[in-house]
Amino acid sequence: MSNKPKIAVIGAGKWGQALHFALSFKQETYITSRTPRDIKNFTDLNTALNCEYLIIAIPAQQIKQWLKENFVFKNQKVLVASKGIEANTGEFLNEIYAEHVPEKNIGFISGPSFAAEVIQGLPCALVLNSTSKKLYQEFKPFFPDFIKTYYSADVIGAEVAGAYKNVLAIASGICEGLHLGKNAQASLISRGLVEMQRFGKNFGAKKSSFIGLSGAGDLFLTASSNMSRNYRVGLGLAQNKSLEEILEELGEVAEGVKTSEAIYKLSKEYNIYTPIANEVKLVLDGKNPKDSLKDLLNS
Ligand SMILES: NC(=O)C1=CN([C@@H]2O[C@H](COP(=O)(O)OP(=O)(O)OC[C@H]3O[C@@H](n4cnc5c(N)ncnc54)[C@H](O)[C@@H]3O)[C@@H](O)[C@H]2O)C=CC1
Ligand SMILES: O=C(CO)COP(=O)(O)O
């Protein structure tokens, strides 16, 4: 019998490495990335793609291209760990993946989970979202005891929540950076939750996803902590730093930047009222955050 791992993580950024660390508690787990890394069980892409189970943790904006150029479907079961909406096309990740992986083989991870805490083995709860409960049952045993997993069939709800909270975290960082106070921040976060739910409903998302781990859970985490890269983008914007400067300092992905463009586009196309996300997009384009505040207060 082969002792080779049957599961691999693709993408060795912060989240890919944290997931690899976590999954390695229960079984040997491969990890691969564009550039070789000094990580136990690091392997090449081909070997990873030959695994029965994959977790893909590359940034949302790179996925479409990455799948086209690199992915070969061999009946693998796939969990997507990214949180974002493709900005060029406005496509949700499940639509992009659908061109390469059948629905019954794919799931999406959501919920509050800073990689920096997961990689210390601190407890957390995640939702594995898939229309196939069987897929959830197959992945569940791979997760270590310090991660509690829940099942949901609401893929679009989880996707919208995970992507939208990144944009709201930027707004919340701006709020903090402008010293607007805790009242303002709590109002922003709770109205943001209403807004993401309204947006999601348009695409068939369930309300329950927004009041659970995927929505409120991840939003409260990300929009209230400078451990969040998106929150730190907001702090930088409030300090009048340029986006280029902020992203260079960050050196990691802040999905909310591009996702705000996607939400802006989709909300215009479908006529959805998304005032906070729209203001984030405008501030990222150069609008003064104080003018955004005035506009939000008066809209
Ligand atoms: N860091 C965190 O706490 C969490 C992150 N996520 C999500 O996971 C995704 C990845 O985030 P992180 O790993 O934290 O970002 P990161 O910035 O630490 O790493 C991104 C990784 O993707 C790789 N990458 C970039 N472009 C690529 C391409 N064209 N082809 C292949 N690989 C490419 C980079 O080499 C890098 O290793 C994002 O969508 C993020 O929202 C989700 C939950 C928690
Ligand atoms: O999604 C995350 C935690 O659940 C990570 O958020 P940031 O990408 O803003 O750091």
Q: Closest by alpha carbon to 274, among 195, 216, 213, 183? A: 195
- What is the maximum alpha-carbon separation in the chain? 67
- CATH number for region 162-298: 1.10.1040.10
**Unique residue bearing structure tokens 């599961």:** 7
Q: Hey, how many other C-beta atoms are within 10 angstroms of the C-beta on 185?
A: 17
Cβ neighbours for 23, distance < 8 A, ≥ 6 positions apart: 7, 9, 29, 55, 142, 143, 144
Q: Hey, how many other C-beta atoms are within 10 angstroms of the C-beta on 276?
A: 25
Residue 105 annotated as binding? no
Q: Is 40 a catalytic residue?
A: no
Crossing angle between the packed helical segments 243-250 and 229-238, to the nearest 10 degrees? 140
Positive or negative: CA dihedral 44, 48, 54, 60:
positive
Pocket test for ligand 1, best of 54, 58, 109, 222 (most atoms within 8 A of CB): 58
Ligand 2 pocket check for 217: Cβ under 6 Å:
no
**Residue 1 pLDDT:** 40
Mean pLDDT of 185-189: 98
- Whole-angstrom distance, CA of residue 226 vs CA of residue 30: 31
Residue 201 identity (one-letter amino acid): K
* Contact predicate 174/237, CB 8 Å: yes
Architecture of the domain whose range is 7-153: 3-Layer(aba) Sandwich (3.40)
- Whole-angstrom distance, CA of residue 266 vs CA of residue 213: 24
- For residue 255, the ligand 2 atom closest to its alpha carbon is 8
SS3 at position 285: coil
Q: For residue range 10-33, what is the model confidence (pLDDT) as tens digits?
A: 999 999 999 999 999 999 999 999
Q: For residue range 216-246, what is the model confidence (pLDDT) as tens digits?
A: 999 999 999 999 999 999 999 999 999 999 9
116 Cα to the center of ligand 2, angstroms:
10
Residue 111 annotated as binding? yes
**Encoding tokens for residue 20?**
């690899």
Q: Hey, how many other C-beta atoms are within 10 angstroms of the C-beta on 47?
A: 15
- Whole-angstrom distance, CA of residue 199 vs CA of residue 219: 15
Q: For residue range 67-89, what is the model confidence (pLDDT) as tens digits?
A: 999 999 999 999 999 999 999 99
Residue 198 annotated as binding? no
* Contact predicate 292/278, CB 8 Å: no
Cβ neighbours for 81, distance < 8 A, ≥ 6 positions apart: 11, 15, 16, 19, 55, 56, 57, 109
53 Cα to the center of ligand 2, angstroms:
24
- Whole-angstrom distance, CA of residue 130 vs CA of residue 137: 11
Q: For residue range 92-129, what is the model confidence (pLDDT) as tens digits?
A: 999 999 999 999 999 999 999 999 999 999 999 999 99
Q: What is the Cα gyration radius of the chain? A: 19
- Whole-angstrom distance, CA of residue 23 vs CA of residue 36: 20
57 Cα to the center of ligand 1, angstroms:
6
For the full predicted model, state whether its pTM sits above 0.90: yes
Task: List, by residue range, all CATH 1.10.1040.10 domains of the chain.
Answer: 162-298
Mean pLDDT of 262-270: 98
Provide, rounded to the nearest whole percent, the portion of the chain with pLDDT above 70: 99
pLDDT band at 299 (very low <50, low <70, confident <90, very high): confident
ipTM of the predicted assembly exceeds 0.85 = yes
Residue 66 annotated as binding? no
Catalytic residue among 165, 206, 258, 281, which?
165
Task: List, by residue range, all CATH 3.40.50.720 domains of the chain.
Answer: 7-153
Residue nearest to atom 34 of ligand 1 (CA): 13
* Contact predicate 82/17, CB 8 Å: no
Q: Is 181 exposed, middle or buried (0-12, 13-18, 19+ CB in 10 A)?
A: exposed
255 Cα to the center of ligand 1, angstroms:
9
Residue nearest to atom 5 of ligand 2 (CA): 114
Q: Residue 210 to residues 110, 158, 218: CA-CA distances in angstroms? A: 11, 8, 9
SS3 at position 292: helix
